């Protein structure tokens, strides 16, 4: 199957939409979303104006980390469907002018992957496909505890940056790189338009396995007592110089298919700008910048401006399957989500919408017995895990699953897609209008950006647009610069005043 509508740099002007397949649409009455469900909802995704969907992993997996533990890169997990269904999904998505990005989980596999089962024996050419040591060093797992587990069969320790059921591949072994490139080629040939690369900066490790130094700042010292991962400087188990060579080989292949590579950086210190070293013509196209997601309302404007200055095309992410939803993150005011939508679509960068954010789906607080996420189970109640942002899409009408079926996580929220589609003042319709504005005016895709205390200016080929942002809970006057100019979009009253947490968009020239 040939990739469709190839056009270099298509990713720069695209709007991406993350689908967590378990929670999008159930069609086989098991309370878990599936590929068929995604196919049925493509009309909606197209209606919204989305150019590319990224599917969280749908490959064969024991689902201990809900698909981020892959047991076969060449098969679809039966929870979600089969090969024929993903092929149809790719085809139908392309017919809807929507590209398909798969989740590339290549730092680790499941411990049930045949490669690991073979590696455990220590007797075949797969012996070195994972990281085995006679003695552990001090490296810690991002899911808590040591990053090493003893394997009685092999009488050695293996490394796992995440759960012990997710052993890390050995990226210093050229055979591993070849095998993963073959996986990518297989999916590109099926028509896939790119990969989101799970924790790509953890692929390569220090070849001498030196201990990570301790962190001596307050967060590192105190936090490290409870959660060892933040007690260390991750200088030897992450961000190693060999990584660039790996990314270059990925990019060469991606270029043959005009595919995009989007990196997810693992960084407990939220220093995502570091990822810019991994972005460029011969490496990643994009890397998520999660800094705004960790900012509070008072430092958000500065964080946004700083990211824009440091990274040419920031991948704007306001939430995802690992972090709480936006809802209430920046306060309770109903305009807040709209303000953030304006930034996501009109500031310079590439927007990644997490399914459900377009209706301001709520973050859900679950009781202990409802928690299914492994780190949530481990650290509850101090950390309740990630289920709260993974609850099923609240479609309303013909909902996520049939009424007599119990969804894998509760469906919450009073506001539904169905209701919001009918309401011109809804968040959903604002999303749709902003996406359409972004598409119709090239200034929002390629223009330069200059941040001001009260908003930002976008300029392109003599055209200038001003976007005013009211960061306060009081009404404010529209900036002088827009006096007498008609507002294109905004939460403005009496023509001169921006509502609390409101915004306005004006074309100046
Ligand atoms: C990052 C993914 O986003 C997260 O969901 C997963 O648990 C870890 N990587 C391990 O794959």
For 107-128, write each residue's pLDDT tens digit: 999 999 999 999 999 999 999 9
Same domain, 463 and 431: no
Q: Is the pLDDT of residue 6 over 60?
A: no
Evaluate whether residue 212 is within a structural domain.
yes
- Classify 482 as helix, strand or coil: helix
* Residue 382 placed within a domain: yes
Same domain for 193 and 95, yes or no, is yes
319 in the same domain as 278: yes
In testing the pocket of ligand 1, which one of 63, 102, 167, 198 has its CB within 8 Å of the most ligand atoms? 198
Burial of residue 371 (number of CB atoms within 10 Å: 0-12, 13-18, 19+): buried
* Distance between Cα 57 and ligand 1 center (Å): 10
151-163 in b/e form (b: 16+ CB < 10 A) is: beebebbbbbbbb
> Are 65 and 197 part of one and the same domain?
yes
- Mean residue pLDDT of the chain comes to 95
- Pick the closest to residue 507 from 451, 465, 458, 447 (CA basis): 465
Give the DSSP letter of residue 467.
Answer: E
> What is the CB neighbour count within 10 angstroms for residue 355?
24
253 CA distance to ligand 1 centroid (A)? Answer: 24
Confidence of residue 169 (pLDDT cuts 50, 70, 90): very high
275, 240: one domain: yes
Residue 7 binned pLDDT confidence (cut-offs 50, 70, 90) = low
Pocket test of ligand 1: the residue of 199, 265, 293, 324 to mutate, having most ligand atoms within 8 Å of its CB, is: 199
441 Cβ closer than 6 Å to some ligand 1 atom:
no
What residue owns the CA closest to ligand 1's atom 6? Answer: 68
Residue 322 near ligand 1, beta carbon < 6 Å = yes
Closest ligand 1 atom to Cα of 375: 7
Within-domain flag for 73: yes
Angle, CA of 206, 209 and 210, to the nearest 5°: 100
Task: Kindly report the pTM of this predicted structure.
Answer: 0.97
Q: What is the pLDDT of residues 269-284, one digit of tens each?
A: 988 888 889 999 999 9
DSSP state of 500: T
CA quadruple 274, 384, 360, 436: dihedral, nearest 10: 30
Q: At what angle do helices 243-256 and 174-189 cross, to 10 degrees?
A: 20
Q: Is 264 a catalytic residue?
A: yes
Contact criterion met (CB below 8 Å) for 147 and 237: yes
Tell me whether residue 137 is in a domain.
no
Report yes or no on 502 lying in a domain: yes
- Report how many domains make up the chain: 2
Residue after which a domain boundary falls, among 416, 443, 470: 443
CA-proximal residue: ligand 1, atom 8 (nearest): 68
CATH code for the domain of 389 = 3.20.20.80
Nearest-CA residue for ligand 1 atom 5 is: 322
**Residue 118 Ramachandran class (φ > 0 left, ψ -120 to 50 alpha, else beta):** alpha
Same domain, 385 and 477: no
**68 CB near ligand 1 (under 6 Å):** yes
Residues 456 and 437 in one domain: no
* CATH code at position 496: 2.60.40.1180
Residue-number span of the structural domain to which 362 is assigned: 10-107+174-224+234-443
Position with higher pLDDT, 41 vs 493: 41
Residue 4 lies in a domain: no
**Is there a domain that residue 51 lies in?**
yes
Q: Is a pLDDT exceeding 80 seen at residue 464?
A: yes
From the CB of 198, is ligand 1 less than 6 Å away? yes
Inside any domain, residue 483: yes
Q: Last residue of some domain: 390, 413, 443?
A: 443
Same domain, 398 and 452: no
Domain boundary among 398, 425, 443: 443
Q: Which residue in 471, 480, 466 sits closest to 509, CA to CA?
A: 466
């Amino acid at each position: 199957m040939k990739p469709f509508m190839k056009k270099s740099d298509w990713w720069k002007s695209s709007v991406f939409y993350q689908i967590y397949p378990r929670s999008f649409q159930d069609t086989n009455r098991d309370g878990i979303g599936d590929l068929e469900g995604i196919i049925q909802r493509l009309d909606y995704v197209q209606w919204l104006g989305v150019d590319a969907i990224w599917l969280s992993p749908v490959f064969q997996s024991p689902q201990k980390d809900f698909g981020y533990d892959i047991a076969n890169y060449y098969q679809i997990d039966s929870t979600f469907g089969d090969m024929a269904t993903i092929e149809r999904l790719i085809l139908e998505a392309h017919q809807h002018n929507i590209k398909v990005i798969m989740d590339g989980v290549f730092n680790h596999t499941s411990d049930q992957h045949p490669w690991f089962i073979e590696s455990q024996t220590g007797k075949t050419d797969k012996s070195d496909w994972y990281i085995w040591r006679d003695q552990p060093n001090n490296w810690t797992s991002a899911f808590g505890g040591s990053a090493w587990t003893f394997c009685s069969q092999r009488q050695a320790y293996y490394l796992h940056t995440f759960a012990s059921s997710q052993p890390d591949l050995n990226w210093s072994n050229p055979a591993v790189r070849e095998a993963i490139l073959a996986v990518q080629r297989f999916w590109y040939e099926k028509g896939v338009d790119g990969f989101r690369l799970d924790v790509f900066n953890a692929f390569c490790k220090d070849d001498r396995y030196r201990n990570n130094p301790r962190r001596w700042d307050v967060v590192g010292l105190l936090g490290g007592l409870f959660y060892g991962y933040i007690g260390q400087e991750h200088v030897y188990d992450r961000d190693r110089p060999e990584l660039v060579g790996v990314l270059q080989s990925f990019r060469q292949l991606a270029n043959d298919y005009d595919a995009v590579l989007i990196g997810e950086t693992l960084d407990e210190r939220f220093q995502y700008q570091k990822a810019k070293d991994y972005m460029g013509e011969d490496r990643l196209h994009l890397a998520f910048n999660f800094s705004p997601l960790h900012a509070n309302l008072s430092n958000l404007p500065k964080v946004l401006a700083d990211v824009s200055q440091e990274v040419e095309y920031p991948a704007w992410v306001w939430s995802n399957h690992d972090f709480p939803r936006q809802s209430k993150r920046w306060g309770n005011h109903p305009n807040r989500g709209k303000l953030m939508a304006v930034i996501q679509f009109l500031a310079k960068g590439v927007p990644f919408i997490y399914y459900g954010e377009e209706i301001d789906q709520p973050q859900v607080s679950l009781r202990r017995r409802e928690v299914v996420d492994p780190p949530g189970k481990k650290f509850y109640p101090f950390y309740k895990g990630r289920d709260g942002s993974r609850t099923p899409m609240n479609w309303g009408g013909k909902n996520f699953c049939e009424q007599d079926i119990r969804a894998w996580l509760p469906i919450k929220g009073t506001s539904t897609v169905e209701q919001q589609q009918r309401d011109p003042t809804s968040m959903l319709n604002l999303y749709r209008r902003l996406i359409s504005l972004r598409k119709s005016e090239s200034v929002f895709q390629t223009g330069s950006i200059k941040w001001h205390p009260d908003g930002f200016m976008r300029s392109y080929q003599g055209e200038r647009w001003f976007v005013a942002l009211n960061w306060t809970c009081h009404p404010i006057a529209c900036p002088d610069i827009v006096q007498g100019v008609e507002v294109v979009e905004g939460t403005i009253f009496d023509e001169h005043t921006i509502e609390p947490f409101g915004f306005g968009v004006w074309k100046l020239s």
